[in-house]
């Protein structure tokens, strides 16, 4: 089998939401690069990537350029393709746009691999479980009023969610006292009830001292995890917070590739390894990090793109839960959804996904 053609599009997609937004708060849109990789036997793989808004056009050029280098190669020899791309783009990696561009290609290659063998990706990657826990994300944000978040937490519970994530750390341009942070988490916990797994994302906003101070004050909330409590690359700082707080600390979505996870693990920075399929360069990098985490007895969780990463969390024994952030789901005709707090990967070959042609046309910008 040989790769014979590709088609790459830039899409500006309105973000999906799990619950209604607060009044006056617009739904965010996100740029995605959507890739189709064709072969001489008629099998076609699909992949996506994203890097925020400002450089989305540059990311599309990077995917176009790298996909062009795969023409004529055997799509089942994924590591050979990755080695060629790394060699060709030497000086432009290992992090940043290079890695996120490679992700689209690697995801499409795994989709082809699944279709070639007639198996879903979650089975090819390990096939550990048919159903995994999934949590609601993006519904209880820091820029939403706390009364809205309390109401929405109760709504999510009613919808069947058993895990949900909120945020602390004041939005840009605001400052909150420690007492205000405590109040926000107390109100969401009270509305969700004690039986819900409640996660809380800080998105690197706190300092080490703030993390220790507020982290101790909110111990009563029994959080399932506190995420990205300080700057993502302050491995010793994270390690200090992790050592001093009882709450499990999660992190990893901001780093690229596999090697930074080694340093995070060596510094005891996190209890829960969060892997982003795009910043890890696709399925191949995701699995390498997850296997490394397993050797240290650490669970792994996904970041964004639930329709893809449900396969990976389900594949491995240390897969803990899938983040359901619905930003990318509008790209497809159909995606896996939560049922009774759990989610199942599709049984169809590859990722079991098809791009929604109408959405690609409607929201395509290049
Ligand atoms: Mg996060």
User: Does residue 112 sit in the same domain as residue 149?
Assistant: no
Per residue in 307-356, pLDDT (tens digit) is 999 999 999 999 999 999 999 999 999 999 999 999 999 999 999 999 99
Quick one: pLDDT at residue 294?
98
| Ligand 1 center to 203 CA (angstroms) | 6
Q: Exposure of 315 by Cβ count < 10 A (0-12 exposed, 13-18 middle, 19+ buried)? A: buried
Mean pLDDT of the residues in the chain: 97
Question: Does the structure show a pLDDT above 90 at 358?
Answer: yes
Mean pLDDT, rounded, for 73-97: 95
| Ligand 1 center to 106 CA (angstroms) | 23
Q: How many domains would you assign to the chain?
A: 2
Per residue in 7-64, pLDDT (tens digit) is 999 999 998 999 999 999 999 999 999 999 999 999 999 999 999 999 999 999 999 9
Torsion of CA 292, 294, 299, 302, to 10 degrees: 40
Give a yes or no: residue 308 inside a domain.
yes
Per residue in 232-273, pLDDT (tens digit) is 999 999 999 999 999 999 999 999 999 999 999 999 999 999
User: Does residue 331 sit in the same domain as residue 193?
Assistant: yes
Quick one: pLDDT at residue 94?
87
Quick one: pLDDT at residue 249?
98
Domain of residue 80 covers 3-118+355-363
| Ligand 1 center to 361 CA (angstroms) | 30
Quick one: pLDDT at residue 123?
98
| Ligand 1 center to 229 CA (angstroms) | 10
Q: What is the CATH number of the domain that holds 9?
A: 3.30.390.10
Mean pLDDT, rounded, for 89-109: 95
Give a yes or no: residue 350 inside a domain.
no
User: Does residue 114 sit in the same domain as residue 134?
Assistant: no
User: Does residue 95 sit in the same domain as residue 138?
Assistant: no
Quick one: pLDDT at residue 9?
98
Give a yes or no: residue 348 inside a domain.
no
Quick one: pLDDT at residue 110?
99
| Ligand 1 center to 201 CA (angstroms) | 5
Quick one: pLDDT at residue 93?
83
Which pLDDT band holds residue 76 (cuts at 50, 70, 90)?
very high
User: Does residue 144 sit in the same domain as residue 234?
Assistant: yes
User: Does residue 262 sit in the same domain as residue 331?
Assistant: yes
**Inter-residue contact 300 to 321 (CB < 8 Å):** no
Give a yes or no: residue 88 inside a domain.
yes
Give a yes or no: residue 89 inside a domain.
yes
Q: What is the CATH number of the domain that holds 141?
A: 3.20.20.120
| Ligand 1 center to 253 CA (angstroms) | 6
C-alpha distance across the termini of the chain, in Å: 29
User: Does residue 257 sit in the same domain as residue 305?
Assistant: yes
| Ligand 1 center to 318 CA (angstroms) | 19
SS (H, E, C) 261-274: HHHHHHCCCCCEEE
| Ligand 1 center to 76 CA (angstroms) | 32
Torsion of CA 244, 249, 255, 256, to 10 degrees: 130
| Ligand 1 center to 350 CA (angstroms) | 27
User: Does residue 235 sit in the same domain as residue 325?
Assistant: yes
User: Does residue 254 sit in the same domain as residue 129?
Assistant: yes
Per residue in 130-142, pLDDT (tens digit) is 999 999 999 999 9
Give a yes or no: residue 349 inside a domain.
no
| Ligand 1 center to 365 CA (angstroms) | 28
User: Does residue 105 sit in the same domain as residue 143?
Assistant: no
Give a yes or no: residue 334 inside a domain.
yes
Q: What angle do CA 304, 310, 312 make, to 5 degrees?
A: 100
Which pLDDT band holds residue 202 (cuts at 50, 70, 90)?
very high
| Ligand 1 center to 315 CA (angstroms) | 22
User: Does residue 165 sit in the same domain as residue 233?
Assistant: yes
| Ligand 1 center to 6 CA (angstroms) | 32
User: Does residue 77 sit in the same domain as residue 129?
Assistant: no
Give a yes or no: residue 250 inside a domain.
yes
Quick one: pLDDT at residue 209?
98
DSSP string, 55-80: THHHHHHHHHHHHHTTTTS-TT-HHH
Residue 366 vs residue 294, higher pLDDT: 294
């Amino acid at each position: 089998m040989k790769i014979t053609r590709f088609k790459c599009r830039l899409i500006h997609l309105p973000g999906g939401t799990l619950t209604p937004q607060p009044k006056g708060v617009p739904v965010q849109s996100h740029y995605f690069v959507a890739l189709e990789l064709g072969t001489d036997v008629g099998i076609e793989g699909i992949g996506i990537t994203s890097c925020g808004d400002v450089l989305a056009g540059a990311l599309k050029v990077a995917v176009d350029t790298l996909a062009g280098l795969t023409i004529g190669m055997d799509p089942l020899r994924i590591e050979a393709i990755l080695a060629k791309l790394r060699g060709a783009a030497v000086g432009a990696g290992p992090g940043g746009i290079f890695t996120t561009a490679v992700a689209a290609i690697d995801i499409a290659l795994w989709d082809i691999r699944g279709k070639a063998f007639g198996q879903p990706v979650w089975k090819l990657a390990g096939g550990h479980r048919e159903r995994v826990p999934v949590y609601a994300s993006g519904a209880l944000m820091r820029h939403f009023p706390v009364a809205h978040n309390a109401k929405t937490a109760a709504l999510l519970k009613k919808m069947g969610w058993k895990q949900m994530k909120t945020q602390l750390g004041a939005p840009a341009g605001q400052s909150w006292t420690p007492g205000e942070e405590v109040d926000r988490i107390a109100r969401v916990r009270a509305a969700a009830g004690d039986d819900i797994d409640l996660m809380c994302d800080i998105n690197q906003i706190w300092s080490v001292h703030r993390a220790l101070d507020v982290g101790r004050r909110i111990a009563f909330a029994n959080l399932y995890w506190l995420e990205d409590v300080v700057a993502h690359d302050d491995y010793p700082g994270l390690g200090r917070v992790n050592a001093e707080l009882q709450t499990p600390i999660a992190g990893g979505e901001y780093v690229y590739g596999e090697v930074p996870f080694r340093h995070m693990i060596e510094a005891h920075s996190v209890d829960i390894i969060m892997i982003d399929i795009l910043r890890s360069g696709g399925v191949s990098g995701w699995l390498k990090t997850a296997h490394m985490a397993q050797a240290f007895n650490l669970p792994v969780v996904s970041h964004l793109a639930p329709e893809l990463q449900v396969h990976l969390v389900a594949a491995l024994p240390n897969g803990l839960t899938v983040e359901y952030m619905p930003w990318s789901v509008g790209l497809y005709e159909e995606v896996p959804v939560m049922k009774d707090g759990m989610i199942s990967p599709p049984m169809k070959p590859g990722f079991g996904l098809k791009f929604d042609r109408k959405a690609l046309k409607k929201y395509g910008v290049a």
